[in-house]
């Protein structure tokens, strides 16, 4: 498997920036990984907040759990003030993923082309 394929697969399937680390482009790779992890943290934090709100509402009602009521509560929390932050985080994550894949491919191809150039002996 070529280096460009490996870098693209790492960036696409593992985490944005993983291909950069494989290609030894550490600053870019770490930046993409950090941004991606922050976006993922926003998703997890938002999910925990939503679950907590729904559980609190269900516990305060004290009645039997109704699927329709659960669906209504989840919909209500999805449209709350944190939904804009989650939307922006998802756009940033998708952007990081695309940039990571394309840039890892570009870097690997440049490295392959540089290694494939014939080396001319120095002039005397």
DSSP string for residues in 12-65 = HHT-TTHHHHHTT-HHHHHHHHHHHHHHHHHHHHHHHHHHHHHHHHHHHH-S--
For the record, the structure tokens of 57 come out as 């509402």
Provide the pLDDT confidence category of residue 61 given band limits of 50, 70 and 90: confident
Provide the pLDDT confidence category of residue 22 given band limits of 50, 70 and 90: very high
> Residue 86: pLDDT above 70?
yes
Mean pLDDT of 28-56: 92
Q: What angle do CA 71, 87, 26 make, to 5 degrees?
A: 130
Cα gap 55→78, rounded to integer Å:
14
Q: What angle do CA 19, 93, 5 make, to 5 degrees?
A: 25
Helix axes 26-61, 67-78, angle to 10 degrees: 140
Q: Delimit the domains of the chain by residue range.
A: 3-116
């Amino acid at each position: 498997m070529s280096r460009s394929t490996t870098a693209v697969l790492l960036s696409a399937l593992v985490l944005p920036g993983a291909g950069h680390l494989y290609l030894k482009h550490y600053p870019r790779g770490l930046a993409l990984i950090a941004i991606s992890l922050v976006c993922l943290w926003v998703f997890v934090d938002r999910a925990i907040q939503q679950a907590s709100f729904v559980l609190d509402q269900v516990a305060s009602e004290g009645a039997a759990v109704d699927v329709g009521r659960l669906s209504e509560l989840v919909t209500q929390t999805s449209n709350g003030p944190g939904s804009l932050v989650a939307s922006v985080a998802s756009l940033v994550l998708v952007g990081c993923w695309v940039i990571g894949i394309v840039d890892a491919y570009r870097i690997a191809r440049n490295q392959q082309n540089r290694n494939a150039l014939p080396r001319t002996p120095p002039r005397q």
